[in-house]
Amino acid sequence: MFAALIRWLDERLQLEGLIAPLRHKTVPTHRLSYWYFFGGITLFLFIVQVLTGILLLLYYRPGANEAFESVQYIMTRVQFGWLIRSIHSWSANLMIFTAFVHMFSVVFLKAYRKPRELTWVTGMVLLFLVMGFGFSGYLLPWNTLAFFATKVGTEIAGQVPLIGKPIMIFLRGGEEVTGATLTRFFGFHVAVLPGIVTVLIAIHLFFVQRQGISVPPKLEARWNANPSERREMKFFPNFMLRELMAWYVAIGALAALAALFPWGLGVKADPFISAPAGIKPEWYFLFMFQTLKLIPSKVWFVDGEVLGVLGCSLAGLLWMLLPFFAGDRAGRTRVWITGLSIFALVYVIGMTAYGYLAP
Amino acid sequence: MGAERTLPPEPSRRHAIEIFLGGGLLASLASFLYPVLRYFVPPAVVDLGGDEVVAAKSVEMKPNSGRIFRFGSRPGLLIMNADGTYRALSATCTHLGCTVQYRPDLREIWCACHNGTYDLNGRNVSGPPPRPLDVFDVHLRGDEIVVSRKREA
């Protein structure tokens, strides 16, 4: 019956023509091939976010007087509400984690080099936007931690000379973090960001589809010298089925995490209480947070905060332009880029660990 | 010869794998869908109204007038007749659920949505309403007008 339906559609829409590029698409197989799964897993977790996010919208109410109560209602009264929200929170964290893994795998497999510079740039923008998702979504339950995280986060944006202050006021919807901020973040989180990210993912995937999948330079040189060594598998169905298995594992991990460690709700935000001791941002902001903490309050005559914010922004920008420094000679990349990549990875992991352990 | 002999078991093995794989996938799909379907059902709202409510103070009412009050999560209609007696009914029209009102000029209960009318006992006398309105008990407690649900006989 299913086959008959496909045939019926194929007669009218020429489905074969749509699937044909997928049939020709191949994925290189070598001992580092498993890193190719992480982009797909990130995409899968994004889909999970969209679906669970829509479900949460059935009961969530934005607003300083209602947000916390509505999340509490979802967690305690709505059947399986705790599960849906916990999956949304866990999937968000895993998505940011897999996005970072995907980025570093691209760095170390040197997949950003010509002709894939723009794929890298769109990927980096996606990473920033995904962190924006994390930041805006974190406020929505309107609890104490979220309130202070938003206060500090928007304050940091306000440190940028000249444009900082207007940006901060734009983000907060006023001078302070209030219900107006919650309304804005809600809008960013459920309308603005999903729209932009969906379009960018489409562009990112279109680039990957056009250019095929990158092979590490040394291996590529060897395969070019000796074409009989080249090993590939068909994307459809061979790689696709493997990817689906990875997704299946991902959803298993998600369900287990959500069931065993349901996401907490905390205490309702109150603008007139002190920040609790030991307050820290989410782990994916921790390396930047720790960097800012280590910079002295005055460096020469510049404010430490300003220096830190500008330094982090500059580092992010240069990192996004990485492929343009790499040169375009196929099969060879500059040694200092490899060194820099290792430094970046060690720095991010080290600072995150330090941020966790530091008092 | 040898190769031919090993061929026949293949389809049934494949079939068994397909059943396991398909069954497993269906089972996981069901385990995704079941929580979602349950999640769609909103939890029942607890009716905190109870069986009794103070609909108004007697000083607030004028003869030959009506007033909407809250009875739990639904509206009720309290009427003071010209002779000073009270009457309380459900204000939800039995036709399509609009909120009815007292018409002092007709001394009837009227629903503006589809021009249905009820008499003061709640009986549907004209227009589309299919059933009479529920009638509540009214008694006075000091200057409070207390409305309660009729005890089931």
Residue range A6-30: mean pLDDT, rounded: 85
The pLDDT value recorded for residue B100 is 94
Flag whether B84 is in a domain: yes
Flag whether B142 is in a domain: yes
Domain span including residue B109: 52-148
CB distance from A200 to chain B under 8 Å?
Answer: no
Q: Are residues B88 and B117 in the same domain?
A: yes
* Mutation choice for B interface testing from A54, A56, A79 by most B CBs within 10 A: A79
* pLDDT tens digit sequence for A31-65: 888 999 999 999 999 999 999 999 999 999 999 99
Q: Are residues B80 and B136 in the same domain?
A: yes
The pLDDT value recorded for residue B1 is 45
The pLDDT value recorded for residue B2 is 46
Q: Are residues B60 and B79 in the same domain?
A: yes
Flag whether B3 is in a domain: no
Do B39 and A58 lie within an 8 Å CB cutoff? yes
Q: Are residues B19 and B80 in the same domain?
A: no
CB distance from A69 to chain B under 8 Å?
Answer: no
Q: Are residues B83 and B144 in the same domain?
A: yes
A-chain residues within 8 Å CB-CB of B32? Answer: 251
The pLDDT value recorded for residue B74 is 87
Q: Are residues B70 and B142 in the same domain?
A: yes
Tokens 């809250």 -> residue: B70
Flag whether B73 is in a domain: yes
Would you list the domain boundaries of chain A? 31-214+232-277
Q: Are residues B63 and B105 in the same domain?
A: yes
Do A55 and B35 lie within an 8 Å CB cutoff? no
Of B28, B32, B39, the CB nearest to A81: B39
A245 CA to centre of own chain: 21
Q: Are residues B78 and B140 in the same domain?
A: yes
Q: Regarding predicted confidence, which is higher, A339 or A327?
A: A339
Q: Are residues B118 and B58 in the same domain?
A: yes
Residue range A215-235: mean pLDDT, rounded: 89
Report the candidate in B100, B97, B66 with the shortest Cα–Cα distance to residue B80: B66
Helix, strand or coil, per DSSP, at residue A37: helix
The pLDDT value recorded for residue B91 is 93
Q: Which amino acid appears at position A125 of this protein?
A: V
Q: Are residues B69 and B123 in the same domain?
A: yes
CB distance from A79 to chain B under 8 Å?
Answer: yes
Do B35 and A79 lie within an 8 Å CB cutoff? yes
**Of 1.20.810.10, 3.30.499.10, 3.40.309.10, 3.40.50.300, which CATH number belongs to A31-214+232-277?**
1.20.810.10
* pLDDT tens digit sequence for A118-142: 999 999 999 999 999 999 999 999 9
Which bin fits A314, alpha (ψ -120 to 50), beta or left (φ > 0)?
A: alpha
Token pair recorded at residue B128: 């589309």
Find residues 36-55 of chain B whose CB sits inside 8 Å of chain A: 36, 38-43
* pLDDT tens digit sequence for A292-309: 888 888 777 888 888 888
Q: For residue A312, report the phi and psi dihedrals to the nearest 5 degrees.
A: -65, -45
Q: Are residues B37 and B109 in the same domain?
A: no
Do B39 and A248 lie within an 8 Å CB cutoff? no
The pLDDT value recorded for residue B152 is 59
Low-confidence ranges of chain B (pLDDT < 70): 1-10, 46-50, 151-153
* pLDDT tens digit sequence for A147-190: 999 999 999 889 888 899 999 999 999 999 999 999 999 999 99
Omega of the bond prior to A296 within 30 degrees of 0, cis? no
Flag whether B46 is in a domain: no
Of A73, A79, A84, the CB nearest to B41: A79
Q: Are residues B81 and B135 in the same domain?
A: yes
Do B38 and A84 lie within an 8 Å CB cutoff? no
